[in-house]
Chains A and B, each alone.
Chain A
Amino acid sequence: MALLEVNKLTKHFPVQQGILLSRLGGHVSAVDDVSFSVEKGTTMGLVGESGCGKSTTGRCILRLYRATSGEIRYDGRDVLALRGADLKWYRRNVQVIFQDPYASLNPRMTIREIVAEPLVIHGIGTREEQKKKVQELLEVVGLNPEHISRYPHEFSGGQRQRIGVARALALNPKLIICDEPVSALDVSIQAQVVNLLEELQKEFGLTYVFIAHDLSVVRHISDRVAVMYLGKIVEIGDWRGLYDRPHHPYTQSLLSAVPVPDPVKQRERQRIILEGDVPSPIDPPTGCRFHTRCPIAQFPICAEEVPELKEIAPGHSAACHFAEPQPIKTQHVHGGSGEVIGAPAEG
């Protein structure tokens, strides 16, 4: 059974205009009609560029933001309706690891205080038991348990992220939202933390929602992946299908834009270069939100009709009127803003 179900989740942020007499000037639709489910013990990757709504989705699941509409179910229970003790129960089971290991640890607290804080809040154990638990946790994440009374500034970035992981594990959660947990780290350290997360998942049967902009890291750690653009999921599927046979033109161009650390492959590869920037989410394009940058958009349909997520293979869906599989290694298109430049040839 799915541990987490997100159904038609929508989050709008109001935009204030004016300084003295501020009034509502519309809204940013940060997340729009997002649905996915995560099976117990698996990892769901959310990937996309800045402003695509991946972090907002994570924060809605955590109840750090109040969703505008839609439904979130955890273990069959309606998360958005939880109150009081029930909400506390939820927060014991669902934890978070943040991106910036420098900003997410209070510099004036010792490691012991930081990692024990969830235990204190939830009233678990005596002071001595809490200390023992903190030491165990530090051991689990590969830190020296003797460093318990040090402060965050005495640790490097990778070590700090391990402290963040230890804190997230303190309450034996079942689901962890990882919001860009490795993007602030150097590659050699990033690999250490990715391995740690994978080991912990095996050991404790954890479920992850892994939010990142790095497509290679997401592919590595995820079982299923959802690609987001301007608040919407444009394609979702298991990692192999999505990376080997991406159907949505945005997924295709995203994948083709990532340089591969292999000079010969890189020389042979053709990139689809999208023109322009991501439009403002305050006034997103009509129809398909990607149509202003899409290399295969056709008019008027793409500018008028919002494409539904359609299943194109078992467990693999794309939201495009003209979704077609494109093995990304053999791409030969140069994207234009809205004009069709020949059908991309396969093979």
Chain B
Amino acid sequence: MSTLLEVNGLQTYFDTIDGVLKAVDGVTFSLDRGATLGIVGESGSGKSVTALSIMRLIPMPPGRFAGGDIRYEDRSILEMSAAEVRSLRGNNIAMIFQDPMTSLNPVYRVGKQIGESLRLHKGMSRKSADVRAAELLDVVGIPNASQRAKDYPHQFSGGMRQRAMIAMAVACDPDILIADEPTTALDVTIQAQILDLMIELQQEKDTAIIMITHDLGIVADMVDNVMVMYAGRPVEEGTVDQVFYDPKHPYTWGLLDSLPRYDVDDKGRLIPIEGQPPSLIAVPSGCAFHPRCPYARDVCRAEEPKLSNLGDGHVAACHFAGSSGFVRGSTAGGAA
């Protein structure tokens, strides 16, 4: 496995009337060929802006890259010209969006939309693009594909639309597939079908996947590495086992504890994270999580914690992460 994508200290800011909105502030990760990275976090944590930054789909202005770099096969995506980015998008890096209803164009036939990238990137003729589009619909499990390719998006159900989106994304055999909450709008039985399909396609083509989700169940199900984000910053990164079985950041603890679990026998009280996520225009001083953290001390209010290495690639941005005696549920009195 070789490193395909490297994101280093990425900062994506938006200039708004109320001030600078730091949507992504210091995201760092790398992605190997064929691997799956999960990015988890709640709304407003910067997951989607990270994805859009990689695709260079951030509207500028008001957005701007304030720092850091994104490197794909050792070329800086941030420094590419518009033409270079266009040849990258859809061809090397493709994206699946959350809402298959709004991300398909309602006035074009599904097959045409899938064929569009083939014509653009592979220079296929209209005819051969149509044929290939029908094949792709068949690959993603749409019955009677050559007929259905002539349908409009409204004639497809939600699950079928998401399959069509996947067909479109994999049309040019991209190295990286970014899936931004691909199943959030779908029912669970359809979600299971779509996740299965993505895993199948990944194994066939050795595609790397960035899976953006708020659902820790999906993360446990299909990713190798996880990045947990809070207020635009990564708070913990590691393998899925490290993050689920040996989490080091109080925010990760909070996330895991607040989930109702149907696989655990007893129904104890849920332990929510108190308070609300911060505004990204006025991020709290020091550690962004300190106002909600039951373990916060003075140092947390004053100094922003760096991502510190805990061994085996497991990193966390907490002043106390890894120190002895700092364990989950050890004391809720730290804040007092």
Chain A interface (Cβ within 8 Å of chain B)? 49-50, 156-159, 186-192, 194-195, 198, 213, 215-217, 219-221, 239, 243, 253-266, 271, 273-275, 277-278, 329
Contact = CB atoms under 8 A, between A and B. Distances in A.
A148 to B, nearest CB: 19
B189 A254 contact: yes
Give 7 closest A-B pairs by Cβ, nearest first.
A259-B217, A191-B272, A191-B258, A220-B260, A188-B273, A49-B187, A186-B42
Contacts of A156: 276-277
B261 A216 contact: yes
Contact of B189 (A49, A259, A264): A49
Interface of B: 42-43, 157, 159-160, 187-193, 195-196, 214-221, 240-241, 244-245, 254-256, 258-263, 267, 269-274, 276-277
Contact of B160 (A253, A255, A277): A277
A262 B244 contact: yes
A266 B258 contact: no
Q: Which of B42, B187, B216, B269 neighbours the largest number of chain A CB atoms within 10 Å of its CB?
A: B187
Given A273-B193, A273-B196, A158 B276 contact: yes
Q: Is the interface of A mostly helix, strand, loop or mixed?
A: helix
A262 B263 CA distance: 9
A187 B188 CA distance: 17
A175 to B, nearest CB: 22
B189 A253 contact: yes
A186 B272 CA distance: 11
B221 A186 contact: no
B217 A49 contact: no
B217 A258 contact: yes
A261 B189 contact: no
Contact of B272 (A49, A189, A274): A189
B221 A259 contact: yes
18 contacts: A186-B214, A187-B255, A187-B258, A187-B259, A188-B254, A188-B272, A191-B270, A191-B273, A198-B269, A254-B188, A255-B262, A257-B188, A257-B189, A259-B218, A265-B263, A266-B217, A273-B192, A273-B196
A274 B193 CA distance: 8
A277 B220 contact: no
A264 B159 CA distance: 28
Q: Which of B258, B263, B273 neighbours the largest number of chain A CB atoms within 10 Å of its CB?
A: B263
A263 B241 contact: yes
Contact of A263 (B159, B215, B240): B240
A188 B255 contact: yes
B202 to A, nearest CB: 16
